[in-house]
Amino acid sequence: MKRLERAKGKTLDTLADQVHEEVFEELDCLDCAGCCSHIPPMLNRTDISRIAKTLGMGTAQFQEEYLRMDEDGDMVMKTTPCPFLQEDNTCLIYEDRPKACRQYPHTDNMEFSQRMPLHKTNANHCPAVFHIVERLNAVIGG
């Protein structure tokens, strides 16, 4: 990560975007579900009302049943594994899943270099991030 931090900038972001595509072509999240199993996603207000509606619940009832406030004041899923993770590793509310779930692991939005501490943490939990960092190091780190 230190080598990559020294290589910060647009070149790293462009390369990370390409490597992200490569790694996710080879890796199937349905074989892993590590994030859904271990990292409670954050839900914004739009997520909460959308998912509550999908489940036929009021937002207050949904929050009471599924959410808690974390130490940063964000609403997150109350339990891990996520209550919507199914036995075959699919997501019960996939079409309506939280924005945070859609964006995880944050390696493909051309802002890779601005999230280095996050990648460092996620490389310990997400095999995709681990491989993305390894490949970037092989190209950039020398």
Closest CA to 126 of 32, 23, 21: 32
- Four-point Cα dihedral 129, 103, 38, 33, nearest 10: -80
Other CB atoms within 10 Å distance of the CB of residue 47: 21
Q: How far apart are CA 58 and CA 61, in angstroms?
A: 5
Number of residues that bind ligand SF4 (CB under 6 A): 21
| Span from 57-65, 66-74, 96-104, 111-119 in contact with ligand SF4 (CB under 6 A) | 96-104
Q: How far is the CB of 87 from ligand SF4 (least distance, A)?
A: 12
| 76 is a contact residue toward ligand SF4 (CB under 6 A) | no
Site residues, ligand SF4 (CB under 6 A) = 27, 29, 32-36, 41, 82, 84-85, 91, 93, 97-98, 101, 104-105, 126-128
